Amino acid sequence: MEEDASNSCDSEYEDEYVLLDLDEVAAKVCNFPPDAPYTLLGLDTLHPVLIIDNKLKLVGEYEETIGTCVVFNEEKTDSKARAVTQKKLGASGAKNSKQPVIKDVRPVGSLQKILKFRLATENENEEEANNTHGKKPSSKS
């Protein structure tokens, strides 16, 4: 039996998820609307760049995770399935602030890298400006 060529090509490539950590720059990032345009450059380099709304430039650095981080997505479920889950957990129908919120989630993938961002320095901004104008960045000895 012959193997389908399209399936063998697909098996060469695997999705890789990366967590973008913006904790260090959260105060700066929250000033932008959630739908602000962004550009993510150089994911295959040591220091990827994230530009938000053509105004804020962030430089990233990869950190390996300890173990594997699993990424989940919340799914909508019908009320019957939710009631069965609550019954299994012993939760009553009455509203009680001590009861846990039950959410149905499914794993999307796993990741081994976290990309931590920080504000770009003035030197990094100058280098980009020089590179976009066709000039070589000046090297100081």
Domain assignment present for residue 33? The answer is yes
Domain assignment present for residue 73? The answer is yes
List, for residues 18-58, the tens digit of each pLDDT value: 888 999 898 888 888 889 999 999 999 999 999 999 999 99
Q: How far is CA 127 from CA 49, 55, 102, 115, in A?
A: 13, 16, 50, 22
What domain range is 43 assigned to?
9-132
Domain assignment present for residue 112? The answer is yes
List, for residues 67-115, the tens digit of each pLDDT value: 878 888 887 666 666 666 666 666 555 555 566 667 788 888 888 889 9
In 3D space, the residue among 109, 105, 104 whose CA is nearest the CA of residue 73 turns out to be: 105
Number of folded domains that form the chain: 1
Domain assignment present for residue 62? The answer is yes
Domain assignment present for residue 2? The answer is no
Domain assignment present for residue 139? The answer is no
Domain assignment present for residue 117? The answer is yes
